[in-house]
Amino acid sequence: MADDTAPQIDFNEHERTYVNFLRGSVAVILGSLIVLVALVMFAFGSGASATVLGFLGLIFGLAAVVLDLRMGSNWTLSLVVTAIFVFITLMWVA
């Protein structure tokens, strides 16, 4: 019989994986929200300028999410860009 051959649990690696999973989940949620707001702008905005604003908001919003994800920050840039995009969409559609 083999004695003491069970692998040891690496709690530091487990915690790092958990933190990265949470960061990825937040990035997917913010990206989905930005895509949803862009779809609202495309569907209910009037004119070609709504389409341009929708694409710009989509590009800048997803770029902000990628930057926050890569920098490991606290999502401030993504939240600010998303809030501005939501506000512009609400003003444009209303």
Structure confidence at residue 6 (pLDDT): 61
**84: domain range?**
30-93
Kindly state whether residue 58 falls inside one of the protein's structural domains: yes
Question: Residue 52 corresponds to which amino acid?
Answer: V
Angle of helix 48-71 relative to helix 11-44, nearest 10 degrees? 170
User: Taking Cα atoms as reference points, which of 75, 77, 82 lies closest to residue 32?
Assistant: 82
Structure confidence at residue 3 (pLDDT): 64
Kindly state whether residue 7 falls inside one of the protein's structural domains: no
Kindly state whether residue 19 falls inside one of the protein's structural domains: no
Please tell me the distance from the alpha carbon of residue 13 to that of residue 21, in angstroms, as a whole number.
Answer: 12
Q: Model pTM?
A: 0.84
DSSP-assigned letter for residue 73: -
Structure confidence at residue 73 (pLDDT): 78
Task: Tell me how many domains the chain contains.
Answer: 1
Kindly state whether residue 13 falls inside one of the protein's structural domains: no
Per-residue confidence in pLDDT tens, the chain, 94 aa:
556 666 778 788 889 999 999 999 999 999 999 999 999 999 998 888 999 999 999 999 999 999 999 998 799 999 999 999 999 999 998 8
Kindly state whether residue 11 falls inside one of the protein's structural domains: no
